Chain A
Amino acid sequence: GAGVSQSPSNKVTEKGKDVELRCDPISGHTALYWYRQSLGQGLEFLIYFQGNSAPDKSGLPSDRFSAERTGGSVSTLTIQRTQQEDSAVYLCASKTGAREETQYFGPGTRLLVL
């Protein structure tokens, strides 16, 4: 079946502009995660959605970062007033539910802020 998909695959933007990154989870998966992977760094948790519960936003690095999940499926990560340090790969993952622990990752969006 189809895996997690993300778009765009690459994004180049200028400092100060806003960007939106999209994630389509595996069909039927109720849990969705966003991570950031910077060059030479491990994966850094950003935000977690589980069903209709309030999202866990504890990993968002600043108030310039926000995410929403509409209809319990597609999610959008928005970065406002981008900075050069926001350059990284943004990865989305999903899993079937709260009891299942294995997360399945998408291919990522490579963001470069000039």
Chain B
Amino acid sequence: EDQVTQSPEALRLQEGESSSLNCSYTVSGLRGLFWYRQDPGKGPEFLFTLYSAGEEKEKERLKATLTKKESFLHITAPKPEDSATYLCAVQGAQKLVFGQGTRLTINP
């Protein structure tokens, strides 16, 4: 069965303090790994799709990387507006499977 585990569950950082969020996964036949951002009361907002180990993608202060067992979402010099829940999901042969998310808070 495909599984996704995200850590930590919650993370508090000071503005400008860089860190990484982890997504560990097991999947039969990876067809894609996805990162989404979800703000309270809203639907998930697409950030990145990664397809194969070694792939990296960047967007503003965010960078996503992928290995055969895990993905990292690196956040560099975060700002308060980066506060949100970050969701990781994997697409295998069957359905898209989501992790529980990491709730990120950036304090000014």
- A residues contacting B by CB (< 8 A) are 4, 6, 33, 41-43, 45, 48, 56, 58-59, 91, 101-108, 110
Which of chain A's residues has its CB closest to B36's CB? A105
Residues 76-108 of B, flagged 1 when their CB comes within 8 A of A and 0 if not, give 000000000001010100011111110000000
- Contact call A104/B46, Cβ cutoff below 8 A: yes
State the Cβ distance, B50 to closest chain A Cβ, in Å. 10
CA distance A56 to B49 in the complex (A): 23
- Inside 8 A of B69's CB, which chain A residues have their CB? none
In the complex, whether B8 has a CB less than 8 A from a CB of chain A is no
Residues of chain B whose beta carbon lies under 8 Å from any beta carbon of chain A:
31-32, 34, 36, 41-46, 49, 87, 89, 91, 95-101
Of the candidates A42, A43, A101, the one whose C-beta lies within 8 Å of that of B32 is A101
Min C-beta distance of A89 to chain B, whole Å: 8
Task: Verify A91–B44 contact, CB threshold 8 A.
Answer: yes
How far does the alpha carbon of A82 sit from the alpha carbon of B23 in the complex, in Å?
Answer: 35
Contact B96 A103 (CB under 8 A): yes
Q: How many A-B residue pairs have CB under 8 A?
A: 46
B contact patch SS? strand
Contact B95 A45, beta carbon cutoff 8 Å = yes
Q: Please give me the 5 A-B residue pairs with the lowest Cβ-Cβ distance, nearest first.
A: A101-B32, A105-B43, A43-B98, A42-B98, A105-B44
Q: Would you give the shortest CB distance from B17 to chain A, in whole angstroms?
A: 26
Q: How far is the CB of A63 from chain B (nearest CB, A)?
A: 20
Contact B101 A106 (CB under 8 A): no
Provide the residues of chain A in CB contact with B31, threshold 8 Å. 101
- Residues in B whose Cβ lies below 8 Å from that of A101: 31-32, 34, 49, 91
Are A102's CB and B44's CB within 8 A?
no
With both beta carbons as reference points, the residue of chain B lying nearest to A104 in the complex is identified as: B46
By beta carbon, the residue of chain B nearest A44 is: B98
Give the chain A neighbours of B45 by CB distance below 8 A: 105
> Considering the chains assembled together, what is the distance between the CA atoms of A108 and B42 in angstroms?
7
